[in-house]
Amino acid sequence: MLAKRIIPCLDVNAGRVVKGVNFVNLTDAGDPVESAKFYEQEGADEIVFLDITASVDNRSTMLNVVRKTAESIFLPFTVGGGIRTVDDMRNILSNGADKVSLNTAAVLNPELISSGAAEFGVQCIVVAIDAKKVTGRNEAAIPELPEDIAGLGISLWETGDVYEVYVNGGRKPTGIDVVKWAEYVAQKGAGEILLTSIDKDGTNSGYDVDLLRKVTSAVNVPVIASGGAGTMEHFYEAISAGGADAVLAASVFHFGRFKIADVKNYLSKNNIAVRL
Amino acid sequence: MTTKKVTVVDYRTSNLLSIAKALQKAGAEVELTQNADDIAKSEKLVLPGVGSFGAAMRNIDSFGMKQSLQEFGRSGRPLIGICLGMQLLFDVSFELGINDGLGLIPGEVVAFNSGVKVPHMGWNQVEFQRKSRLFDGLPDGQYAYFVHSYYVRTDDDCVSGKTEYGLKFPSIIERENIFGIQFHPEKSQSFGLRILENFLRV
């Protein structure tokens, strides 16, 4: 049976892990490769690197990290952050990453999804969606969409909760409806969706199950839940009620609140298939 | 560990580095080639692959390697196809049109359409169907890492391992000297490395 995946996420800035793994006996906890090796040992099913390097000059540093990671671990890993072109994707994939994750660039240029999928296969293309529940917005304040995606706008008349896509690290609203965007990117060639709740991120108060449910029931590609992990029950909720195929977390693992193996044992006891 | 020579076919597939690294870890002396003569001279051959079937066959053709791959497969020397590389061993694929494969094993490559999410992505179990040289030292039912949207339909007598995903599909195939694995051994930790080690001993 296909196992639900548990995925630790490492933020990397100029080749160094930030908000790093601070409880381990690593020689160098700021080294992304050491951290990846640690999580491989801990039973991670995949690893996600989010490159938050602002400067373009430091891009080659990340490629070096990717190559060294690929040489050190025998586990799939994804790299996101700052990927703008098919060449950027090729550089990362040919250095040994298994998938690239697109976020802002996919919104600015949706054709990037289909070009990447045609070149490398849909299995390499993750589209990361940062979602925020729409509250107290008036119609006039919603950004107008480019013509090619004009049909994907949020509608405040719709019943139930509406979620909006944000870009630029969750700072900039786009006016795009999350569910419509998810359907659109899946049809464009995204092989997987990494869905982060901006409202829940960093709160440790649980994943946004309602958001997850809306997206997982709309698309036929795997969905990774992100944002809000605080307890092992939260992982269970994301999978059982949210329909997530994989669950991503950072701080609970980095700060040793519990271990990946603890989460997996908990899920297994609750009849969720995991790789123990 | 004794060194074992293995030639990896390089037709610009993006996971080449990871495959080569895993083979080295499994004890192989790895040579990459884009050349039909090197294929003809090699002792053991690995055919990797990610991406789409038609594009991969066109790439292999453009390097002039199709015929030498077919001849190698019929020569009795060990050949293993990995992921898309396994699918290429068969007659035909229906991924984005109809494309001929290498035709070394009878069968066809078809899409998952049994109500499951596509791609089939993540860790799933390999159920052994019979004894195989690839399974030495490995228990049945281990998890391996899969990423694919199409699977192979072939005779059961070519199938050594199956995996359940809406239906039971062949995840390890084997016919005399020719092997294929649908999952990624280079991403399947100790299970994947042991399969590669076992292939190196064939």
Average pLDDT over residues B15-37: 93
Q: Classify strands B4-9 and B28-33 as parallel, antiparallel or unpaired.
A: parallel
Mean pLDDT rounded to a whole number for chain A: 92
Q: Determine phi and psi for A125, rounding to 5 degrees.
A: -105, 110
Contact residues, chain B to chain A, C-beta under 8 Å: 14-18, 21-22, 25, 50-52, 117-125, 143, 145, 147-149, 164-165, 184, 186-189, 192-193
Distance from CA of B165 to the nearest CA of A (A): 7
Task: Using an 8 Å CB-CB cutoff, list chain A residues near B21.
Answer: 70-71, 96
Burial A57-68 (b: 16+ CB within 10 A, else e): eebebbbebbbb
Which residues, 6+ apart, have CB-to-CB distance to B86 below 8 Å? B47, B49, B152, B173, B180, B181, B182
Q: Classify strands A125-133 and A99-102 as parallel, antiparallel or unpaired.
A: parallel
Could A5 and B143 be called an inter-chain contact, meaning their C-beta atoms sit closer than 8 Å? no
Task: Using an 8 Å CB-CB cutoff, list chain A residues near B50.
Answer: 120-121, 123-124
Name the more confident of A52 and B181: B181
Shortest CA distance from B20: residue in chain A: A71
Could you report the per-residue pLDDT of A245-256, keeping only the tens digit for each? 999 999 999 988
Q: Does A5 touch chain B (CB under 8 A)?
A: yes
Q: Which among A1, A124, A221 has the least Cβ separation from residue B117?
A: A221
Average pLDDT over residues A226-253: 97
Q: Which among B119, B124, B193 has the least Cβ separation from residue A3?
A: B124
Could B25 and A76 be called an inter-chain contact, meaning their C-beta atoms sit closer than 8 Å? no
Burial A4-22 (b: 16+ CB within 10 A, else e): bbbbbbbbbbbbbbeebbe
Cα R_g (chain B), whole angstroms:
15
Of A108-112, A153-157, B114-118, B184-188, least confident by mean pLDDT is A153-157
Looking at B83, B120, B158, B174, which residue is catalytic?
A: B83
Could you report the per-residue pLDDT of B151-175, keeping only the tens digit for each? 999 999 999 999 999 999 999 999 9
- Checking if the pLDDT of A59 tops 80, the result is no
B79 and B40 in contact (C-beta within 8 Å)? Answer: no
Could you report the per-residue pLDDT of A170-206, keeping only the tens digit for each? 999 999 999 999 999 999 999 999 999 999 999 999 9
pLDDT for res A38: 94
pLDDT for res B1: 47
pLDDT for res A69: 95
Which residues, 6+ apart, have CB-to-CB distance to B37 below 8 Å? B68
Q: Both tokens of residue A80?
A: 């996101």
Which residues, 6+ apart, have CB-to-CB distance to B191 below 8 Å? B126, B138, B142, B143, B144, B185
pLDDT for res A143: 85
- The residues that bridge with A126 in the sheet, in sequence order, are A101, A192
A100 and A92 in contact (C-beta within 8 Å)? Answer: yes
Q: Which among B16, B51, B120 has the least Cβ separation from residue A2?
A: B120
Q: Is B40 exposed, middle or buried (0-12, 13-18, 19+ CB in 10 A)?
A: middle
- Checking if the pLDDT of A140 tops 80, the result is no
Beta-carbon count within 10 A of B87 CB: 26
Average pLDDT over residues B102-117: 95
Average pLDDT over residues B76-97: 95
Q: Which among B124, B148, B188 has the least Cβ separation from residue A123?
A: B148
Alpha carbon distance A53, B2 (integer Å): 43
**Of A10, A111, A122, A21, which is closest to residue A62 (Cα–Cα)?**
A10
Average pLDDT over residues A97-104: 96
Q: What is the ipTM of this complex?
A: 0.92
Mutate to test the interface with B, among A4, A47, A88, A98 (most CBs of B within 10 A): A98
- Checking if the pLDDT of A28 tops 90, the result is no
Could A40 and B189 be called an inter-chain contact, meaning their C-beta atoms sit closer than 8 Å? yes
Q: Tell me which amino acid residue B70 is.
A: Q
Alpha carbon distance B141, B125 (integer Å): 5
- Checking if the pLDDT of B2 tops 60, the result is no
Percent of chain B with pLDDT over 70: 98
Alpha carbon distance A230, A249 (integer Å): 9
Name the residue with tokens 């992505």.
B121
- Checking if the pLDDT of A29 tops 80, the result is no
CATH number at residue B41: 3.40.50.880
- Checking if the pLDDT of A265 tops 80, the result is yes
Q: Both tokens of residue B191?
A: 């299970």
pLDDT for res A109: 95
Q: Which among A74, A222, A275 has the least Cβ separation from residue B192?
A: A74
Could B124 and A191 be called an inter-chain contact, meaning their C-beta atoms sit closer than 8 Å? no
Question: Is B120 one of the annotated active-site residues of the chain?
Answer: no
**Of A42, A70, A52, which is closest to residue A15 (Cα–Cα)?**
A52
Alpha carbon distance B1, A249 (integer Å): 39
Q: Catalytic positions of A, please?
A: 11, 130
Domain count, chain B: 1
Task: Using an 8 Å CB-CB cutoff, list chain B residues near A2.
Answer: 120, 122-124, 165
Name the residue with tokens 């969706």.
A193
Task: Using an 8 Å CB-CB cutoff, list chain A residues near B17.
Answer: 67, 70-71, 94-96
pLDDT for res B15: 79
Distance from CA of B151 to the nearest CA of A (A): 14
Which H, E and C letters describe A19-31, residue by residue? CCCCCCCCCCCCC
Looking at B95, B174, B186, B197, which residue is catalytic?
A: B186
pLDDT for res A136: 75
pLDDT band for position A161 (cuts 50, 70, 90): confident
DSSP string, A100-160: EEESHHHHH-THHHHHHHHHH-GGGEEEEEEEEE--S--GGGSPPPPGGGGGGB--TTSSS
Mean pLDDT rounded to a whole number for chain B: 94
DSSP string, B140-183: TTEEEEEEESEEEE--GGGEEEEEESSSEEEEEEEETTEEEESS
